[in-house]
Amino acid sequence: MASAPKLPLPRRTWLKLMATLAAMPASAQQTPPAAGRRGRGEPIPQRVNKDMATAALATLGLQFTDPQLDMLLPVVNRQLASYEELRKIDIPAETPPALLFFPVQPGSPMPLGRSTWRAPKAPALPRFKDPEELAFLPAVQLGGLIRAKKITSTALTKMYLQRLKTYSPKLLCVITLTEDLALEQAKQADTDLRRGRHHSPLHGVPYGAKDLFDTKGILTTWGAEPYQNRIPDSDATVIEKLRTAGAVLVAKLSMGALAQGGLWFKGMTKTPWNYDQTSSGSSAGSGSATAAGLVGFSIGTETLGSIVSPSTRCGVAGVRPTFGRVSRAGAMALCWSMDKIGPICRSVADCAEVLRILNGPDGKDLAVTNAPLHWDARKPLKNLKIGYLAADFERTNEKNKPVYTTALDALRKAGAKLEPIQLPAFPLNAISFVLDAEAAAAFDDLTRSAGIDQLSGQTPGDWPNQFRSSRLIPAVEYIQAQRARTLYMQKFGEFMSQWDAFVSPTNSQSLTATNLTGHPQVVVPCGFVDGLPLGLLFTGRLYDEGTPMRLAYAYEQATDWHTKHPTLQS
């Protein structure tokens, strides 16, 4: 076999160059005289010339000689035709790349066996005269009242629908009220119960879903102007599972446009604790509506803080599960290797029950595994090895420190033995651009059609600018970042092998770290500063949401922050 000709430059350098050149807009491309041949004597149009190549190389920190440039230009221009052919292929938005992220590393076995479940002892059911008195009740207690036939799902649903109509206009937390569907589902839940069919602890409980989950025949807008009239023809897996469990969908809740922040096409979603402040995002409406008592519970998603941040800002509990715990089929994709779905509720016990329903594969999202889910709300804390990120607590805002000091003391009094720890050192900012690269790919059609110009957010930090600038991320650098991510996942896995869980502020670097590694986190309210809630964050091992939920539940029971509710404006 003849040996391959030697390239004048490393292959890696060639690939970097081609990726950068391909990202250049057509308007910047000139057509110099043809040089080179396409096939049997056919000239190759030289739309990328030497000056353009030199400028592109400068962005990569590279400089080639004139003979090297003359040699590479025919290759680059030939590849340009391939890129253009690729762009003509109609790739549906739900199509994932032929690459699969998996959080478990070699040497770390997958958890096996059946799920185990021991919920908290059910509290006594409250007495009430008006369903409105139940608005802030935890979802499992609402479900208990329905099962005991103290109230019907229909009556509870009508109460929440009225609250949504009354309070959501100022909070801007609802995109679509699903009133007809909700009343139909509530009626069915009541009928099933009368016939002896009780589907789950959340049977008949009204909930809201972030508006990136497809709902058959109902608007699913992704919070973005270009998709305001988008109506899917099927339900997301999450919606199907909740329907099967007997839950009642009352609203599609607001989200920051294309899952960024709290700004959507009708304005900024507000936290019910301060109508001049955003609820954060991107699960903005899920956090706001749950805290305001407009739904029994809600569903959000997180790629880099979108459950933890609004849960913190609104003073509610949230669980971001292990990557691959919950199917994302029928949910808007932002970053295939980082997107996760989880509950936002008024108690940790609620989060556990919702996660139990959502858990497991559906045969559609191939990233989802059949790992068991364990929850023991009565497990003693004394044998758990628990760390706390001392430096993160020390670095926090001076106003926040007393709140966190009190929170850690309460956790210790609840039985947790806390040891100071620190995360493995790693330049996470050097690899976090994988989110930008995948998001730009997910919405490449919108960028090319200039649809992103319609979005309300047009600052340097908003998606339009990030999608445009991400076109200049070289393919090789993206893959290198994913390889470096593997190294960090190995380091983080070794670190977590020493701890059952650890505690941190919600603005900890652990938020970025665990969204890249796929580890689960649980957040609960822990106090207020300047009238706004703060949150305490618990991190667990892969596929072990039960331990951080147990710690969060112990803290919740030792304090009363989860019982605080905002005064609403109509």
Q: Do residues 135 and 160 lie in contact, with contact meaning Cβ atoms separated by under 8 Å? A: yes
Q: Percentages helix, strand, coil for the chain, rounded to the nearest 5?
A: 40, 15, 45
Q: Do residues 278 and 269 lie in contact, with contact meaning Cβ atoms separated by under 8 Å? A: yes
Is pLDDT above 80 for 291? yes
Of the candidate ranges 43-47, 244-248, 435-439, the one whose mean pLDDT is the lowest? 43-47
Instruction: Look at residue 42 in the predicted model and tell me its pLDDT.
Output: 65
Instruction: Look at residue 109 in the predicted model and tell me its pLDDT.
Output: 85
Question: Looking at the structure, do residues 217 and 281 belong to the same domain, yes or no?
Answer: yes
What is the rounded average pLDDT of the residues 546-554? 98
Question: Looking at the structure, do residues 270 and 338 belong to the same domain, yes or no?
Answer: yes
Contacts of 359-363 with C-beta under 8 Å, sequence gap 24+, read 359/115, 359/321, 359/325, 359/326, 360/327, 361/327, 362/237, 362/327, 362/329
- HSE, side-chain direction, 13 A CA sphere, residue 487: 12
What is the rounded average pLDDT of the residues 476-489? 94
Question: How far is 267 from 52, CA to CA, in rounded Å?
Answer: 41
What is the rounded average pLDDT of the residues 182-211? 98
Question: Looking at the structure, do residues 323 and 196 belong to the same domain, yes or no?
Answer: yes
Mean residue pLDDT of the chain comes to: 92
Is pLDDT above 80 for 1? no
- Indicate whether 312 belongs to any domain: yes
Q: In 404-471, where do the E strands start and end? A: 418-421
Secondary structure (DSSP) of 42-68: PBPP--S-HHHHHHHHHHTT----HHH
Instruction: Look at residue 45 in the predicted model and tell me its pLDDT.
Output: 77
- Indicate whether 105 belongs to any domain: no
What is the rounded average pLDDT of the residues 159-187? 98
Question: Looking at the structure, do residues 282 and 393 belong to the same domain, yes or no?
Answer: yes
Which of 52, 87, 122 is the C-terminal boundary of a domain?
Answer: 87
Question: Looking at the structure, do residues 26 and 144 belong to the same domain, yes or no?
Answer: no
Which domain range does residue 375 map to?
A: 138-427+476-563
DSSP class of residue 453 equals G
> Per-residue confidence at 82, pLDDT binned at 50, 70, 90?
confident
Instruction: Look at residue 43 in the predicted model and tell me its pLDDT.
Output: 66
Instruction: Look at residue 79 in the predicted model and tell me its pLDDT.
Output: 85
Residue 546 Cα distances to 65, 124, 199, 264, 378, angstroms: 59, 24, 22, 34, 11
- Indicate whether 462 belongs to any domain: no
Instruction: Look at residue 473 in the predicted model and tell me its pLDDT.
Output: 86
Peptide bond connecting 282 to the previous residue in cis, omega within 30 degrees of 0: yes
Instruction: Look at residue 41 in the predicted model and tell me its pLDDT.
Output: 53
Which of 87, 118, 152 is the C-terminal boundary of a domain?
Answer: 87
Question: Looking at the structure, do residues 309 and 375 belong to the same domain, yes or no?
Answer: yes
Is pLDDT above 60 for 540? yes
Share of the chain above pLDDT 90, in %: 83
Instruction: Look at residue 80 in the predicted model and tell me its pLDDT.
Output: 87
Of the candidate ranges 70-79, 299-308, 407-416, the one whose mean pLDDT is the lowest? 70-79
Question: Looking at the structure, do residues 80 and 165 belong to the same domain, yes or no?
Answer: no
| Nearest CA-CA partner of 296 in 176, 374, 201, 217 | 201
Is pLDDT above 50 for 200? yes
- Indicate whether 111 belongs to any domain: no
| Residues 8-66 pLDDT 10s | 444 444 444 444 444 444 444 443 433 344 444 566 678 999 999 999 888 878 898 99
What is the rounded average pLDDT of the residues 118-145? 96
- Indicate whether 460 belongs to any domain: no
Please state the domain count of the chain: 2
Write out the catalytic residue numbers: 210, 282, 306
Max Cα-Cα span within the chain: 88
471: number of Cβ within 10 Å: 18
Secondary structure (DSSP) of 508-569: STHHHHHHHHT--EEEEEEEEETTEEEEEEEEE-TT--HHHHHHHHHHHHH--GGG--PPP-
Question: How far is 282 from 516, CA to CA, in rounded Å?
Answer: 18
Return the residue matching tokens 């009190």.
406
Question: Looking at the structure, do residues 401 and 495 belong to the same domain, yes or no?
Answer: yes
Question: Looking at the structure, do residues 165 and 307 belong to the same domain, yes or no?
Answer: yes
Neighbouring-strand partners of residue 177: 251
What is the rounded average pLDDT of the residues 547-560? 98
| Nearest CA-CA partner of 149 in 206, 203, 82, 70 | 203
Question: Looking at the structure, do residues 262 and 376 belong to the same domain, yes or no?
Answer: yes
What is the rounded average pLDDT of the residues 301-308? 98
Question: Looking at the structure, do residues 292 and 360 belong to the same domain, yes or no?
Answer: yes
Question: How far is 375 from 392, CA to CA, in rounded Å?
Answer: 28
Q: Do residues 326 and 426 lie in contact, with contact meaning Cβ atoms separated by under 8 Å? A: no
Instruction: Look at residue 562 in the predicted model and tell me its pLDDT.
Output: 97
Question: How far is 341 from 326, CA to CA, in rounded Å?
Answer: 6
Of the candidate ranges 9-18, 158-167, 217-226, 476-485, the one whose mean pLDDT is the lowest? 9-18
What is the rounded average pLDDT of the residues 77-94? 88
Question: Looking at the structure, do residues 74 and 151 belong to the same domain, yes or no?
Answer: no
Instruction: Look at residue 482 in the predicted model and tell me its pLDDT.
Output: 95
What is the rounded average pLDDT of the residues 435-464? 94
> Per-residue confidence at 133, pLDDT binned at 50, 70, 90?
very high
- Indicate whether 549 belongs to any domain: yes
Which of 87, 112, 146 is the C-terminal boundary of a domain?
Answer: 87
3-class DSSP state for residue 176?
strand
> Per-residue confidence at 3, pLDDT binned at 50, 70, 90?
very low
- Indicate whether 151 belongs to any domain: yes
- Indicate whether 470 belongs to any domain: no
CATH of the domain at 194: 3.90.1300.10
